[in-house]
């Protein structure tokens, strides 16, 4: 998976991602956390996804880090449930 930072500020970031599944899961968790704006778009199925995140409170890096930790925690719960 390739991720390229196109634009970065304290409260906003724009990324280019080539994995739609990761983009959608991250968008979902960021919106659940209450970020101001998290969405992705793709001009054409053959082109990469442009993902934009804006935060009014914490820094975007902190918001993304928190979302990734929440995803990991939920996946660990899911895997432990499958092992039972």
The tens digit of pLDDT for each residue in 37-83 reads 999 999 999 999 999 999 988 889 899 999 999 999 999 999 998 88
Please answer whether residues 26 and 71 qualify as being in contact, where contact means their C-beta atoms are separated by less than 8 angstroms.
yes
Bridge-partner residues for 54, per DSSP? 12, 37
What CATH number did the domain enclosing 53 receive? 3.30.1360.10
Which range marks the domain in which residue 25 is found?
A: 3-83
Please answer whether residues 38 and 80 qualify as being in contact, where contact means their C-beta atoms are separated by less than 8 angstroms.
no
| pLDDT surpasses 80 at 84 | no
In the chain, how many domains are there? Answer: 1
Residue 23, SS3? helix
Q: What pLDDT, on a 0 to 100 scale, did the predictor assign at position 42?
A: 94
Compute the distance between CA of residue 20 and CA of residue 40 in angstroms, rounded to an integer: 9
| pLDDT surpasses 80 at 7 | yes
């Amino acid at each position: 998976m390739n991720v390229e930072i196109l634009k970065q500020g304290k409260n906003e970031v724009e990324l280019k991602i080539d994995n739609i599944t990761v983009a959608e899961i991250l968008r979902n968790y960021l919106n659940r956390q209450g970020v101001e704006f998290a969405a992705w778009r793709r001009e054409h199925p053959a082109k990469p996804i442009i993902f934009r995140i804006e935060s009014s409170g914490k820094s975007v890096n902190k918001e993304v880090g928190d979302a990734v930790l929440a995803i990991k925690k939920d996946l660990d719960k899911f895997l432990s449930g499958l092992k039972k």
